[in-house]
């Protein structure tokens, strides 16, 4: 690579990054970007003296500092006044109408990002300094840390780059990055953050920029503190100007009119709040015209032309009443916090996950503690922290049980594992109930009418001690099963003959089942529908899957060492083999005298499938399709290498929508994600060698 080629490579890489982070456009595939990046790295290793000041390789972070330097902001960072209701909004707009004499006011309405305010200075187009807000006049120099944020360009882009620019905005951690970071930290014993704001603050306050570089931070600009070039004369146009220089701005910002426009914006963002990929704590409303802003000026502390209109919080304090330990299908014991009900993040919360034993230790949580509950987006409620000062003297430390709360077997925690498990296996009624529920579920054996209440009753009345026993049950076994609930007249409710007949017929109908569904139904740890399908496609029979070595398993797509270990380990357990044998051989005690028949994938499917055809694409299914079940469509798409997700995002490749499609379709339309109907889906499948009508 020549020096000229290197410089062009740097410019290209930066152009791709700005397209991605600022304009949400992918100009080249990831692999192409990676190749370019590595070639730049290689050149820099050979010619360290020629390394460009805006090379993307600088994003990994340079040498560590010993302390942060103070910096005095040439123009102080603004803080905003807060309002909480419509009356206060009315007062805010009325004041502006009165002092400007204008009634048709235009505002720039923005979301209020909940991160850390920073000032970033560009000189002659290059990022030269970044600082925290501090006390608004004096902050800390965090230049090296901010330089590692992928969304922050090291060099501005475009034609008329100002000599000097001080741009302000928020550094924050997106929710997906925060969740992924914490999930990993919980597995590996790393640093767990209470919320994305703390995560962003903690990540920026690192003396070693390489640590900051490892955290999924991003940035949105919302204000210009100072600029040497003439600027547009509205806030909204200034945001577009900043965006044009290659600095990301939040896409929700827009111009609205008058009190009604502000009210609508607040309501609309409020509805959208849970589905955004970042925390916001309100909206920021700014008079759009800069000359009007200047005429309005400041009160002693805050501008008269802008206000923060806050949302109800996504964190609240409540009391920990107790901790339950739930036992899952694989014996994993999950602590669940029972809370005094509290309204938070748009819902009443009375339970929150405590994840595992480490989390209980980390929080040093006591029954009777006041805890901070966080409920943001569609993630299950979490305990973000404990308010230590409010711990009552009577509080009792929570300890993890040494024995299973359901069956009394010892619990064990394997080396390097985050979870603690009950060792009782299917002797444990809790595990048996969950195994049964999974076994009969729609994507597994699809045995209808056999809901959780009946499964509970079967186990509690000792009608079954493994999933194989299902096939030995008669109509009478079900008909007189007592259910937990009472009838309206206070009598014991039972399943009844009509439902019992249906269940037995449905059990019977499940005796012939595609191999992939059966593998999934077994509930092998780490084996979901996609992996089950991979196994069924690769191996002709269950026997072959059972006998496959760890090495053989690892050669399959998407099967790593951990999954291979889980599969092989499952088939090494005596009681699992016993259950499978009873299910698939034809023991006399089975009603109708017959076990299961496992059908391999049909010839048409197995022979023509190109398992990579749709690799890298994520589809979302919604609504009712005229001819096919969603679970069937999901299998087909997965068999062609696609992923099928439950919710729509910018990364969704397409949404397959049937009748009565709801919010997912709306979301797809909002995000501009392509939508296909069943006919288009059939064409797609056929184009890739899969005829959906062949198996019908």
Q: Which of residues 148-177 bind ligand 9MJ (CB under 6 A)?
A: 170
Binders in 285-344 for ligand 9MJ, by CB under 6 A: 306
For 176-305, strand residue ranges (E) read: 218-227, 254-257, 280-287
State the nearest-atom distance from the C-beta of 276 to ligand 9MJ, in Å: 12
**Residue partners of 178: CB distance under 8 A and separation at least 6:** 193, 195, 196, 199, 216
Q: Is 81 exposed, middle or buried (0-12, 13-18, 19+ CB in 10 A)?
A: middle
Question: Quick one: three-class SS letters along 561-573?
Answer: HHHHHHHHHHHHC
Candidate residues 44, 110, 359, 635; the one interacting with ligand 9MJ per rule CB under 6 A: 110
The pair of three-digit structure tokens given for residue 329, joined into one six-digit string: 């299908």
Of 419, 342, 397, 399, the closest CA to residue 374 belongs to: 342
Which of 8-16, 107-115, 551-559, 633-641 is the region at the interface with ligand 9MJ (rule: CB under 6 A)?
A: 107-115
Q: Which residues contact 258 (CB under 8 A, 6 or more apart)?
A: 93, 103, 104, 105
Shorter beta-carbon distance to ligand 9MJ: residue 284 or 333: 284
What six digits make up the tokens of 141?
């120099």
Q: Judged by CB under 6 A, which stretch of 110-118, 135-143, 514-522, 685-693 contacts ligand 9MJ? A: 110-118
- Residue pair 450/433 in contact (Cβ under 8 Å)? The answer is no
Provide the minimum distance between the beta carbon of 77 and ligand 9MJ in the complex, in angstroms, as a whole number: 7
Tokens 């009007």 correspond to 292
634 an active-site residue?
no
Q: State how far the Cα of 514 lies from the Cα of 517, in Å rounded to an integer.
A: 6
- Tell whether residue 279 is a contact of ligand 9MJ (CB under 6 A): no
Reading the block at residue 269, the tokens are: 């963002």
**Does residue 284 belong to the site contacting ligand 9MJ (CB under 6 A)?**
yes
Instruction: Enumerate residues 6+ apart whose C-beta is below 8 A from 29.
Output: none
Q: Which is nearer to ligand 9MJ, 197 or 438 (CB)?
A: 197
109 part of the interface to ligand 9MJ, by CB under 6 A: no
Any contact of residue 222 with ligand 9MJ (CB under 6 A)? Answer: yes
Nearer to ligand 9MJ, 78 or 194 (CB): 78
Measure the CA–CA gap between 76 and 301, rounded to whole angstroms: 11
Shortest distance (Å) from residue 89 CB to ligand 9MJ: 16
| CB of 670 vs ligand 9MJ, minimal distance in Å | 21
Residue 379: φ, ψ to 5°: -80, 145
Give the containing element (helix H, strand E) for 464.
Answer: none
Q: Which stretch binds ligand 9MJ (CB under 6 A): 49-57, 105-113, 266-274, 590-598?
A: 105-113
What burial class does residue 80 get, using C-beta atoms within 10 Å of its C-beta: 0-12 exposed, 13-18 middle, 19+ buried? middle
Distance in Å, CB of 243 to ligand 9MJ, minimum: 14
Contact segment (CB under 6 A) with ligand 9MJ among 106-114, 408-416, 474-482, 496-504 equals 106-114
Q: What is the largest CA-CA distance in the chain?
A: 92
Q: Which of 50, 51, 59, 112 is catalytic?
A: 112
Distance CA 331, CA 347 (A): 30
Binding to ligand 9MJ by residue 112, rule CB under 6 A? Answer: yes
Checking DSSP bridges between strand 654-657 and strand 618-622, what pairing results, if any? parallel
Please give the backbone phi and psi of residue 598, each rounded to the nearest 5 degrees, phi first.
Answer: -95, 120
- Which phi and psi (to 5°) does residue 657 adopt? -115, 130
Give the binding-site size for ligand 9MJ (rule: CB under 6 A). 10
Confirm or reject binding of residue 539 to ligand 9MJ (CB under 6 A): no
Least Å from the CB of residue 82 to ligand 9MJ: 12
Shortest distance (Å) from residue 117 CB to ligand 9MJ: 7
Question: Cβ of residue 225: shortest distance to ligand 9MJ, in angstroms?
Answer: 9
Alpha helices in 307-354 (DSSP H): none
68 or 219: CB nearest ligand 9MJ: 219
How crowded is residue 263: how many other Cβ atoms within 10 Å of its Cβ? 16
When the beta carbons of 169 and 425 are compared against ligand 9MJ, the nearer one is: 169
Between 221 and 542, whose beta carbon lies closer to ligand 9MJ?
221
Question: Considering the complex, what minimum distance in angstroms separates the CB of residue 221 from ligand 9MJ?
Answer: 9
Contact call for residues 175 and 196 (beta carbons, < 8 A): yes
Q: For residue 113, state whether it binds ligand 9MJ (rule: CB under 6 A).
A: yes
Binding characters for ligand 9MJ, 68-97, by CB under 6 A (x = yes): ----------x-x-----------------
Ranges within 470-529 binding ligand 9MJ (CB under 6 A): none
User: Binding string, 365-404, against ligand 9MJ, x = CB under 6 A?
Assistant: ----------------------------------------
Other residues' Cβ atoms within 10 Å of the Cβ of residue 184: 11
* Segment interacting with ligand 9MJ (CB under 6 A) among 63-71, 109-117, 288-296, 453-461: 109-117
Are 363 and 388 in contact by the 8 Å Cβ rule? The answer is no
- d(C-alpha 272, C-alpha 516), whole Å: 38
Number of Cβ within 10 Å of residue 497's Cβ equals 13
Stretch that binds ligand 9MJ, among 47-55, 108-116, 424-432, 534-542 (CB under 6 A): 108-116
Shortest Å, Cβ 200 to ligand 9MJ: 12
Residues designated catalytic: 112
Residues that bind ligand 9MJ (CB under 6 A): 78, 80, 110, 112-113, 170, 222-223, 284, 306
């Amino acid at each position: 690579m020549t020096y000229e080629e290197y410089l062009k490579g740097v410019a290209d890489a930066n152009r791709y990054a700005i397209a991605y982070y600022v304009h949400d456009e992918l100009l080249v595939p990831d692999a192409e970007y990676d190749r370019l990046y590595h070639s730049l790295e290689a050149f820099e290793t050979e010619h360290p003296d020629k390394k460009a000041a805006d090379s993307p390789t600088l994003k990994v972070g340079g040498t560590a500092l010993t302390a942060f330097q103070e910096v005095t902001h040439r123009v102080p960072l603004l803080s905003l006044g807060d309002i909480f209701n419509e009356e206060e909004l009315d007062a805010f707009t009325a004041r502006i109408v009165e002092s400007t004499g204008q009634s048709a006011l235009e505002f720039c309405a923005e979301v209020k990002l909940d991160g850390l305010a920073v000032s970033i200075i560009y000189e002659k187009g290059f990022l030269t300094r970044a600082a925290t807000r501090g006390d608004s006049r004096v902050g800390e120099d965090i230049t090296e840390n901010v330089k590692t944020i992928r969304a922050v360009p090291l060099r501005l882009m475009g034609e008329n780059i100002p000599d000097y620019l001080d741009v302000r905005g928020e550094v924050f951690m997106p929710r997906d990055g925060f969740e992924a970071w914490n999930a990993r930290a919980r597995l590996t014993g790393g640093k767990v953050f209470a919320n994305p704001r703390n995560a962003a603050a903690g990540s920026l306050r690192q003396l070693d920029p390489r640590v900051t570089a490892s955290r999924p931070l991003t940035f949105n600009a919302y204000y210009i503190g100072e600029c040497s070039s003439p600027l547009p004369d509205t806030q909204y146009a200034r945001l577009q100007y900043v965006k044009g220089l290659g600095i990301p701005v939040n896409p929700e910002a827009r111009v609205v009119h008058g009190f009604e426009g502000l009210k609508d914006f607040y309501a609309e963002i409020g509805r959208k709040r849970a589905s955004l990929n970042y925390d916001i704590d309100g909206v920021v409303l700014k008079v759009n015209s800069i000359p009007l802003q200047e005429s309005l000026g400041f009160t002693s502390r805050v501008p008269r032309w802008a206000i923060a209109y806050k949302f109800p919080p996504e964190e609240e304090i409540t009391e920990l009443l107790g901790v339950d330990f739930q036992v899952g299908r694989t014996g994993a014991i999950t602590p669940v916090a029972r809370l005094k009900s509290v309204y938070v993040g748009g819902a009443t919360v009375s339970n929150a996950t405590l994840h595992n034993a480490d989390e209980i230790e980390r929080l040093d949580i006591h029954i009777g503690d006041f805890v901070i509950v966080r409920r943001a987006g569609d993630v299950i409620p979490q305990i973000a922290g404990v308010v230590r000062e409010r711990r009552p003297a009577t509080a009792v430390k929570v300890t993890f049980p040494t024995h299973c709360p359901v069956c009394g077997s010892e619990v064990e925690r394997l080396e390097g594992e985050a979870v603690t498990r009950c060792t009782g296996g299917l002797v444990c009624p809790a595990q048996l109930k969950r195994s049964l529920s999974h076994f009969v579920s729609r994507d597994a054996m699809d045995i209808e009418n056999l809901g959780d209440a009946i499964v509970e009753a079967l186990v509690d009345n000792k009608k079954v001690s493994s999933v194989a026993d299902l096939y030995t049950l008669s109509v009478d076994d079900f008909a007189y099963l007592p259910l937990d609930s009472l009838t309206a007249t206070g009598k014991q409710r039972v399943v009844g003959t009509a439902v019992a007949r249906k269940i037995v017929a449905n059990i019977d109908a499940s005796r012939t089942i595609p191999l992939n569904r059966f593998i999934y139904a077994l509930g092998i740890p780490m084996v979901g529908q996609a992996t089950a399908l991979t196994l069924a496609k690769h191996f002709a029979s269950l026997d072959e899957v059972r006998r496959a070595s760890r090495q053989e398993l690892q050669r399959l797509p998407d099967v790593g060492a951990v999954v291979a270990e889980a599969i092989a380990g499952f088939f090494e357990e005596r009681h699992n083999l016993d259950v499978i044998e009873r299910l698939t051989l034809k023991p006399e005690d089975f009603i109708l005298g017959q076990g299961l028949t496992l059908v391999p994938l049909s010839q048409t499917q197995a022979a023509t499938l190109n398992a990579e055809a749709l690799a890298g694409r994520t589809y979302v299914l919604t609504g009712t399709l005229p001819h096919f079940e969603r679970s069937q469509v999901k299998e087909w798409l997965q068999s062609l290498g696609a992923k099928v997700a439950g919710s729509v995002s910018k990364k969704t490749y397409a949404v397959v929508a049937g009748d009565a499609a709801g919010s997912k379709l709306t979301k797809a339309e909002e995000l501009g994600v392509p939508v296909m109907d069943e006919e288009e889906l059939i064409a797609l499948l056929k184009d890739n060698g899969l005829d959906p009508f062949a198996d019908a």
